[in-house]
Amino acid sequence: MIGKLVASMSLTMVLVFGLLFALLAGLGLYFNIGIYAMVGLAIILGLIQWAIGPAIVRWSTNMKPLEKDEFPWLEEAVHEICIKNKAKIPKITIANTGMPNAFVFGRTNKSATLTLTRGLLNTLTKDEVKGVIAHEIGHIKHNDMVVMTIVSVIPTIAYFIAISTMFSRSRNQGGGAVLIGIGAFVVYFITNLLIMYFSRLREYYADNFAGHQVRPTLLASGLAKITYGLSLQKQEVKNSTLRSFYAVDPVASSYEVLKFSSYYADQHISEEEVEKAMDWERKSSFSKFGEIFRTHPLTFKRIEKLYELERQLSTEN
């Protein structure tokens, strides 16, 4: 099953970097810069992103290391799931924000950091939090977080090239620079779509991994509380790139079922309320079309797959 994710990671890397190299080749040809120099520049930019990415995440999130004996059950849950699946145990940090969410990041799976927010610990039950933890460890086990760290810089490079060439004040560049700028915008758009598709796919695999560590319905309940609960307020993320690393996109989720926000004021979401929200999402044409521009799948799809996994595992047992 994991083969499809590995194939998607490989294809995403090839296509995204292929488009970047094509763009840099055109840029090098126009400005009479050697192709090897441009390829070298792309590699250097990728390595810089890989090297400083974790520092950027730490800077953009108000996190601190988990204090000894602060949440002993958290450490126990992380150690248990990692040891069971032969995954490297990550560092654990707590983000001081009321927004319920979680994410992992790092240069490699051996240097991963797992971050849980205060909002998550205050909103979800212990068993639901364990489901979210298992989901995040799934990203470590699959190593997809490293791919996301590397490829997420490519659209930014393309956008920078587009702005620099199209709106340069130099009069000597002519129409060629405009064409390169338009090409860069196209690369920016396409690479964004590719990365978002891969991001959505990896969430399904992390959900499936978590569903084999805890009861799938526990993660489904946690996702419902995070997503549908976040419809209470619009969430702002300091680093927009970080959105793809969260268990649930904090920005998109705040709009996902805003119509039902009054149902979730107490953060105690019944199965009936979840079904209403899922049914609304299922029938919403806007949600279905907008999904291609999202870093995460629509929550109702994730919950349905977890319910399906629950039935499958029950049948097998």
Catalytic residues: 136
Task: Give the helix ranges, DSSP H, for the chain.
Answer: 2-30, 35-60, 72-84, 118-123, 126-142, 144-151, 154-166, 174-211, 216-229, 252-256, 271-283, 285-290, 299-316
**Distance from first CA to last CA of the chain, Å, rounded?**
20
At 160, phi and psi to the nearest 5?
-60, -45
Question: Which of 137, 128, 130, 135 minimizes the C-alpha distance to 274?
Answer: 128
Structure tokens at 159: 């956008």
Contacts of 150 (CB under 8 A, 6+ apart): 13, 46, 49, 50, 53
Interstrand relation of 63-65 and 91-95 (parallel, antiparallel or unpaired): antiparallel
DSSP state of 67: P
DSSP state of 213: T
Q: How many Å apart are CA 317 and CA 314, to the nearest integer?
A: 5
Structure tokens at 187: 């690369």
* Strand partners of residue 93: 65, 115
